[in-house]
Amino acid sequence: MRLEDMRRSDNVEDRRGFPLGRSGAGIGIGTVVLLVAGYFLGVSPSDLMNLIGTGGGATQDAAGAPQQGTTGRPLDPQGDFAAAVLGETEDVWTQYFKAAGQHYTAPTLVLFSGEVASACGAASAAAGPFYCPGDQKVYIDLDFFGQLAHEFGAPGDFARAYVLAHEVGHHVQNLLGLASAGARPGAQGSSVAIELQADCLAGVWAMHDQRIIEPGEVQQALAAAAAVGDDTLQRRTQGRVVPDTFTHGTAAQRQRWFERGFQGGRIESCDTQSVSQL
pLDDT value for 190: 82
Nearest CA-CA partner of 108 in 56, 167, 45, 159: 167
Alpha carbon 97 to its chain's center:
20
**Alpha carbon distance 241, 192 (integer Å):** 15
Whether pLDDT at 101 is above 50: yes
User: Rounded to 5, what percent of the chain is helix, strand, coil?
Assistant: 55, 10, 35
Whether pLDDT at 33 is above 80: no
For residue 57, CA distances in Å to 48, 101, 115, 229 come to 16, 33, 13, 30
pLDDT in tens, 114-147: 999 999 999 999 989 999 999 999 999 999 999 9
Q: Which residues of 136-149 are buried (b: 16+ CB within 10 A; e: fewer)?
A: bbbbbbbebbeebb
Question: Hey, what amino acid is at 24?
Answer: G
| Mean pLDDT across 243-253 | 90
Q: What pTM value is reported for the model?
A: 0.81
- Kind and range of the H or E run holding 71: strand 70-71
Nearest CA-CA partner of 201 in 167, 177, 230: 167
Q: Is 83 helix (H, G, I), strand (E, B) or coil?
A: helix
Strand partners, 139: 110, 130
Residue-range domain boundaries for the chain: 11-277
**Alpha carbon distance 224, 162 (integer Å):** 8
**Alpha carbon distance 276, 200 (integer Å):** 13
**Alpha carbon distance 149, 169 (integer Å):** 22
Q: Phi and psi (nearest 5°) for 12?
A: -125, 130
Whether pLDDT at 30 is above 60: no
C-beta neighbour count of 242 within 10 angstroms: 11
pLDDT in tens, 161-208: 999 999 999 999 999 998 654 433 344 468 899 999 999 999 999 999
**Alpha carbon distance 42, 131 (integer Å):** 14
- Kind and range of the H or E run holding 131: strand 130-132
Q: Percent of the chain at pLDDT above 70?
A: 76
For residue 10, CA distances in Å to 57, 59, 84, 178 come to 22, 20, 9, 27
Whether 13 and 70 have beta carbons less than 8 Å apart is answered as yes
